[in-house]
Amino acid sequence: MVRTATVNYHVHKDERQAFELDASGIIGNLISPELATTRVNLSDVRVASKPVGFVTDAVEFATYPSAVRDFTGDGWQEIYDRELTQLLTEKLGATEVVIFDRTVRVDDPDAVRKPARNVHSDYSEDGAKKRLIDLLGPETAKVWEGEHYAFINVWRPVEQPINSAPLGFVRPSSVDPKDWILLDLIYPDRMGQIMGLVGNPDHEWIYQSVMTPDEVAFFNIYDNRGLPSVAHSALDMVEDSNLTSIRKSIESRTLVRY
């Protein structure tokens, strides 16, 4: 059975588009980005005949249980960071892992952080290079630039399996380079830059159905040796209409050196 979902693509415009965010990066006020709501077909990797792997698709799904079940407060961070470091070391051969952002998202209108419902990737090339300097400082960043590094996100359901708004990805091989647009991030004290994806009927959407808290998706955001960045978004869909559970997830942004 073919599954479908609704996503919000970006739109080509003559002027540069941007998000304006508050000091904590919590509230995103659109200045000019225009979105096009589009119905897309989905391939569920649990049953699909075509395999999905990090090297070929810049995203991979794995069973990797965590000892952490409560992601409130601060006591969980050291344990979870250690687990993610082990994951990226085992799965990708990372020799050094820097975990710099941990975001719990809840699909509720009153939530502080909600699922991102625009098709995007977190960094442009310039945005990634600037973030590298922000995180490591100019001298250390210069050392890393001469080696192989990447920004990788790790996503996990929290508390219960995902029934609505799962995370979907576009296979990089189905994306035309012209589908990407640059989007500025305007903070009170700094500027960033991400990439938005414009709709294309050739896009091949993939996701893993009913992901549980024992499963993760890890995916490439930027790689200085050329592994494609993978476009992703929350999918507006429901797995089982008889269930009313709210989607909760945690996304960890990491910088790795190979």
* Domains in the chain, number: 1
153 is in which domain, residue-wise? 3-257
Does the global pTM surpass 0.85? yes
pLDDT tens per residue across all 258 residues of the chain: 679 999 999 999 887 787 776 655 455 444 557 899 999 999 999 998 889 999 999 999 999 999 999 999 889 999 999 999 999 999 999 999 999 999 999 999 888 889 999 999 999 999 999 999 999 999 999 999 999 999 999 999 999 999 999 999 999 999 999 999 998 887 777 777 899 999 999 999 999 999 999 999 999 999 999 999 999 999 999 999 999 999 999 999 999 999
Contacts of 223 (CB under 8 A, 6+ apart): 148, 149, 150, 151, 229
CA distances from 128 to 17, 101, 103, 110 (A): 18, 14, 19, 31
- Per-residue pLDDT at 30: 45
- Distance, CA of 25 to CA of 69 (rounded, Å): 25
